Structure 1
């Protein structure tokens, strides 16, 4: 631990600014959140990409969203195999303990993880095929999505695969028994969104048309 360093000064300055303004003006609310615990209405699973900022998109306050981020906003299949599953643990906690009313998958444009999957599956990223690649093995979750879109013209594949990342995650969510139970009992709804970063637009999956439609 002797290699741990203090925060960069610009982050310390930003923290001090936040503490003196946002926190100071809402200190009672923050203390209430700390004492009463969290009661988020929704869980959002989004990408680690720094350009995806779901709290800003929806104007959410502290305590409103239970957020989990990972590469390409993916959810693995239910696999209680004794291995460590960060995303599965987050879903379990949100559904069984927090009792969220909505579970939202948010994909986005220009996703580096999705591009990695595309390159790997098309034979252009052999380094991701290595067993030692954490990214490659995580993107294996999206391989079925690549098979679905591989017939498309090359200039259409990436965007289609970004949306497949949302659909694969929604499908995999329903392999979790507690998710299925919550949805079928009407206690929770699931949603699939795709965000165009450059245009600021949002599309949602419509199961009736089996397509993403603008919001």
Structure 2
């Protein structure tokens, strides 16, 4: 039988000779303690030689990841309805990330929603000019305000918030500030809630975001009809 070496392990069937050796030891010495070092070494060696199909496991893992991405990036009907509103006429939707709410995200003293950079799925949602504005405010500090954007909350209310970048834990994360407390006051967010953050453009090209509620949500404030879309 063909055997291939992977590090210290051999990929293939457990050696038949090893199994026979183990059986012979037990037959020749029936009083042999199963926990003895001699038998243990044989058993351990056999375990080391068990088939290890790394390629198949890696392929299955990659396949699962691909399926998750395809499912997550499907544009939700809720968002489509929001974008089709006459006063928005949105286009170019992009999934930014799935955001799990933490206590700090809904704390009015913190007054911000963080979007961790290492969780961002799509990074090209900003135009060159928008990136420049955020850079000047966040890094160069020569602007007092960040990028003004529209945020549609799960209750279909429109808010104007500031998009900036803050250095948090050694990483530069996007954050919604000025106006975020109003979003928190309007909604009934709870720690642990998960919302998908999407970006899109209004008919005039303005950058907008939406906190899309879970698809299985049924109440009017989380996934209901978009007919109640209004500004705050």
How would you bin the TM-score normalised by the shorter chain? Answer: under 0.3
Q: Which has the higher strand share?
A: 2
TM-score where L is the length of structure 1: 0.23
Q: Return the index of the structure with the highest Cα Rg.
A: 2
